[in-house]
Amino acid sequence: MSSTAPWVEKYRPNTIDQVVYQDEVVQALKKALESSNLPHLLFYGPPGTGKTSTILAIAKQLFGPELYRSRVLELNASDERGIEVIRTKVKTFAQASVGMQSVANKAGYPCPPFKLIVLDEADSMTKDAQAALRRTMETYSKVTRFCIVCNYVSRIIEPLVSRCAKFRFKALEPTLLRKRLSEVAEKEQVKVTNDALDRIVDVSEGDMRRALTVLQSATRTFGKEIKPNHVDETAAVVPDQEIEDLLNACIDVSDKKDMFKAMQKQCAQIVRRGHSAVQVVSQLNNHIISSKNLTNVQKARIALEFGNVDKCLTDGADEYLQLLSLSSHILRIKAELDPKATGSSNEDAMSVDDD
């Protein structure tokens, strides 16, 4: 593959043996590969855990390079999500008869007498499109198998789920991510410090695709030696110091004078520097969970506010106002439930919430 190709594609697994950490899925698919008989499949789980790579790998092992193009149809349902696509592209491909397979058999590939349709990001399909798909799956099951790939299985209608063998993909362990990143860095002759590797693992959150993309982007931007600050800039994460400064302004109720102004200043500074409020909320949540200055009850109440703010941001609310609102609630909860807080600090916290 070209040296300019994305590392996600360059190091994508070509066989199911190369798929890591999804042991139950690999074991079941190996048996299906031995018998050359696949059921309809439903892969679901977090992004970047190998769902699409796994089904494409098994397709290559079933049909070989000669028949792969004619036997496999891959559609991204987030782009082609309507009922018309099911009635035209999918149905037309599904009902076509299977062609000659002698070439692939001679090359050592099983080449079973059916085709494969991969519907990636199927949780973005409309309900009507999913309803139309279920009849197509039944009618042409003798000559076509379907693999539905999604992040949220709850968004797939029950009639489709019941027609498929379900496989859940788990977020990758940090040790596996670190090992794979080290292998790729060695092959690409990139020097990555241990702290930078840990930082990539932290920001990727079990997503191998994101981890490789961050590593490649950092290499293209900063050269062959990657440090933690390079990762932060590439992955668009907020520096830990800024998150800690904001959190300290929210939970330090000992200094009641101008505490709201200090918190307001931190929120304005974060937004002014172009950081995403969604990213700030995500990182702030991690800091809250690990904080030793908050009780479990305080953390539980703050977690409810995280949910409210996240929904507002998803609905398109103003980022600065949402950060300010979240910070105010953290300050109020800390003041109300802090056993060391005086009555005056509670009143100050109430006035902050009113502001």
Q: How does residue 339 score in pLDDT terms, banded at 50, 70 and 90?
A: low
Cβ burial of 185 (10 Å; 0-12, 13-18, 19+) is buried
Cα–Cα distance for residue pair 231/99, rounded to 1 Å: 49
- Judge whether residue 255 has pLDDT over 60: no
* pLDDT tens digits, 16-55: 777 777 777 888 788 877 777 788 888 888 888 888 888 8
**Cβ neighbours, 10 Å, residue 265:** 14
Average pLDDT over residues 308-337: 84
Q: How does residue 100 score in pLDDT terms, banded at 50, 70 and 90?
A: low
3-state SS class at 275: coil
Return the pLDDT at 252.
Answer: 67
In terms of C-beta distances under 8 Å and separation of at least 24 residues, what long-range contacts does 91-100 make, across chains too? 91/136, 91/140, 93/117, 93/144, 94/136, 94/139, 94/140, 94/143, 94/144, 95/139, 95/140, 95/143, 95/144, 96/143, 97/143, 98/71, 98/143, 99/67, 99/70
Average pLDDT over residues 101-108: 53
Return the pLDDT at 338.
Answer: 61
| Structural domains of the chain, with CATH | 7-168 (3.40.50.300), 174-235 (1.10.8.60), 240-354 (1.20.272.10)
3-state helix, strand, coil in the chain (%, to 5): 60, 10, 30
Is the Cα torsion angle 80, 83, 88, 89 positive or negative in sign? positive
Return the pLDDT at 287.
Answer: 82
* pLDDT tens digits, 118-166: 888 888 888 888 888 888 888 888 888 888 888 888 888 888 888 888 8
- Judge whether residue 263 has pLDDT over 70: yes
Return the pLDDT at 352.
Answer: 41
Q: How does residue 69 score in pLDDT terms, banded at 50, 70 and 90?
A: confident
Return the pLDDT at 82.
Answer: 66
- Judge whether residue 349 has pLDDT over 50: no
**Cβ neighbours, 10 Å, residue 106:** 11
Contact 128, 136 (CB under 8 A): no
Contact 318, 349 (CB under 8 A): no
Average pLDDT over residues 304-313: 87
Cα separations in angstroms, 98 against 71, 115, 138: 8, 7, 17
Instruction: Rank 2-11, 73-82, 193-202, 335-344 by mean pLDDT and report only the highest.
Output: 193-202
Return the pLDDT at 38.
Answer: 81
Return the pLDDT at 57.
Answer: 86
Return the pLDDT at 337.
Answer: 61
Average pLDDT over residues 298-303: 86
Residue 96 neighbours by CB under 8 Å, 6+ apart: 115, 143
Cα–Cα distance for residue pair 336/346, rounded to 1 Å: 5
Return the pLDDT at 254.
Answer: 57
Contact 51, 100 (CB under 8 A): no
Contact 178, 197 (CB under 8 A): yes
Cα–Cα distance for residue pair 5/146, rounded to 1 Å: 29
Cβ burial of 291 (10 Å; 0-12, 13-18, 19+) is middle
* Residues in the chain, total: 355
Cα–Cα distance for residue pair 110/30, rounded to 1 Å: 13
Q: How does residue 105 score in pLDDT terms, banded at 50, 70 and 90?
A: low
- Judge whether residue 340 has pLDDT over 70: no
**Cβ neighbours, 10 Å, residue 280:** 24
Average pLDDT over residues 53-75: 82
